Amino acid sequence: MGATVAPVILATDKTQLTQFSGNRLAYPVYMTLGNIPRSIRRKPSQHACVLVAYLSVNKSVGQELTQKEKSARIQQIFHDSLRVVLEPLKKAGKEGMEVTFGDGYVRRVHPILACYVADYPEQCLVTCCKYGTCPKCDLGEDQIGNREGGNWRTQRDTLTTIKKAAASATSTTAFQLRCRQDHISGAVTRPFWDGFPLYDIHLSITPDVLHQLYQGIVKYLVLWCTCLMEVKELDERIKALPPCFGVRHFKKGWSELSQVSGGERKNMARILLACIVGRVPSKAVICFRALLDFIYIAQYASHDDDTLQYLEDALDLYHQNKDVLTDEGLGLRTHLNIPKFHAMVHYSQSIRAFGTTDNYNTEMFERFHIDFAKEGWRASNFRNELPQMTRWLERQEKVASFETYIDHFKGEQDNTVTAAADIDDSPPRILVPTKPDRINQTLISIQTLHHCPSFSHQLRVYLNSLLDQSDALPRANISSAYLPFDKVNVWHSFKFGRSVLGNDIEGTEEKDWVRAKPARQGGGERFDTVVVSHTQEAENTGMKGKCYFLLLQGLYLLGRVGMKVGRLRVIFTLPEIIRNWYAAPRVWSTGHLAYVEWYKVSNHPGAHHNMYTVHRPLVATASDRVVEGEIVPLRSIRQTCQLVPLTGPNIPWPKSWNTNNVLDESQFFLLNNWSSKYAYQTIW
């Protein structure tokens, strides 16, 4: 009575200690608890994840053995080592252990192994499965390309197979052959997980976003892109993409990359689909889009039945169109029996069982390598390093524990001050520098440097709209030829915070940096494209909901809601003093304003790529052809967005386009849904 369960999360992963030469490795074993909130568990500074052991990486065992026998010996050493390390958990899981909680009460806790986080090779090693098969279901190597998974493996069946094979086999080779009939590796005779209470090793294997989706699926997508179109043309398109916050600009394309990290794979996924539209078969575009949809939906920070159905729909769409990848004319693949692709079948069940993927993504534990392995390696003398690394980590943990105690002690003494400071510590949404970049800049100068010839005209329109909305005495509208001021303060950038819609390792709030910066000596200009909230309803409809019918006094009126897309040209404030001595009218806005040139957005996304088409509508004026613009409150800007140039099918991009001029040279674009996880959930 009065006991609770503490689900234990284990993770193992080899890491390279040396950067260039030496080939020194460490094999840490990490442990954390599922009871701890993920926002705390993902932060190394919170010490919610602990290092419990370094496993052996020495492969010089049994020099007289064959290569297969050496591999089997090393795998058995891995299981024997984990059995020794985790032995105390068996008794604690069965009998429970007394733990002092944060409220001071002592309760009985049963730590039960729940999740094992690892990449695919280690999943096979841990579950004793044959490499090339699925560690969760019983499909063989030639069946894992199917849409439906096989029957679930169970720990009991795996142990039974191993024990029967060991009892009947007369040699090591016979034992392995018997095990491989049931898709078991046949290298391990005593798995470490035998005897743990309420535990099933196959069920505990979790999805791996980093290695399965990014280093697996995206890696194949990039490879196939280079086969479907010329590498040089793909590089030219990548180099010509306009800048966007959070999207890496590959200045030399992809072909120059040698070793590609997981972070680079993420940046590749953000621009991949938009760069191949019009140059690859439409069915391949649909297939690629379905896989990208799956990758992004799988990383949602929260799920319900609807979002999990989106996940299944994306997987269905991939399997409906995957035959294009095995088309002999394209020559991409002869089969799709790829374990990392097959793993997508089990994502929905794993999310229902263990929660969202950011609870157990290997990316979190890759970050811990820095603190628990690499820094300890640098603190050693690089000879017999493991004892030195262990001693260094023990000292670091004691110092951190003492600092936590001191902070807690100070917090009790200064409780009133802390409570007062915690009343409202949320950062402001709009973060604008205190001082403007240009003070009292003339309107003529703004129109020239910021390339917005209609700025003064739209300023008159905006001021007249403020006077029309005022409840004060009727006033004459400002003349179309006169403004009561000719200078304003101008800013070149601002930031706004927003909640992270995705698994962020540090758990910090992301800041989106927006720029409207003219060219200066030694620096180029940059005017970002932004998504603006056009109406109150836009917060709920996003880019969808372009049209609506409003019943008003018996008449149906057609209106437009949703977000609008434009290019930010000027950030400014209205002056407080006009005509050198008069105070500005009270109805004038005192906040920051933005001048945005509007782009026209299609009513529906493309059928194949699912991206909205955007184009710059040019308006003829007496002096020049300019883009229609409008002055809006700065707070109505919701995020930056990336516009990717669009040409007709099989029409190459002009060679004159580059990252600095492509927004001016091209007239048609695709609104990139995949520029960030935030954009994917708010634009699409």
The domain limits of the chain are: 3-128+187-206, 209-354, 430-505+528-641
**Angstrom distance (rounded) from CA 30 to CA 365:** 8
Calculate the CA 500 to chain-centre distance: 9
H or E element in which residue 228 lies: helix 219-228
Nearest to 200 by CA among 136, 118, 151, 122: 136
Nearest to 363 by CA among 220, 260, 262, 488: 262
Sign of CA dihedral 49, 51, 57, 61: negative
pLDDT of residue 509: 46
φ, ψ for residue 645, nearest 5 deg: -55, 145
Cβ(673)–Cβ(314) under 8 Å? no
> Token pair for residue 388?
């030195």
> Token pair for residue 56?
């052996």
pLDDT of residue 619: 63
Cβ count within 10 A of residue 128: 26
Cβ(389)–Cβ(372) under 8 Å? no
pLDDT of residue 542: 53
**Angstrom distance (rounded) from CA 234 to CA 272:** 10
**Angstrom distance (rounded) from CA 630 to CA 620:** 16
Cβ within 8 Å of residue 543, ≥6 positions away: 531, 562, 563, 601, 612, 671, 683, 684
CA angle 116, 119, 124 (to 5 degrees): 75
Cβ(650)–Cβ(474) under 8 Å? no
Nearest to 547 by CA among 557, 536, 539, 558: 558
| Distance, first Cα to last Cα, the chain | 49
> Token pair for residue 24?
């020194």
Residue whose pair of structure tokens reads 């080939």 in the numeric block: 23
Cβ(96)–Cβ(3) under 8 Å? yes
pLDDT of residue 465: 85
Cβ(143)–Cβ(150) under 8 Å? yes
pLDDT of residue 530: 93
**Angstrom distance (rounded) from CA 675 to CA 274:** 10
Nearest to 652 by CA among 223, 237, 170: 237
Cβ(529)–Cβ(639) under 8 Å? no
Mean pLDDT by 10 residues, the chain (684 residues): 87 83 83 89 83 85 79 92 94 91 86 94 95 93 91 94 89 88 91 92 95 95 94 95 90 88 92 94 96 96 94 97 91 93 96 92 84 85 85 84 74 44 45 92 94 91 78 53 86 77 45 85 85 65 44 32 86 86 78 94 92 82 65 91 92 93 94 91 80
Q: What is the dihedral of CA 77, 83, 84, 90, to 10 degrees?
A: 180
- The string of DSSP codes covering 603-644 is SS--TTT---EEE--EEE-SS-EEE-EEEEEGGGEEEE--EE
Helices marked H in 27-148 — which ranges? Answer: 38-41, 67-95, 120-127
> Token pair for residue 435?
């001082």
pLDDT of residue 470: 56
Global pTM reads 0.88
> Token pair for residue 83?
């059995």
Sign of CA dihedral 570, 576, 582, 583: positive
Calculate the CA 392 to chain-centre distance: 33
For residue 356, list its beta bridge partners. Answer: none
For residue 681, give Cα distances in angstroms to 108, 213, 297, 677. Answer: 42, 18, 9, 6
**Strand order in 430-431's β-sheet?**
430-431, 493-498, 510-517, 526-527
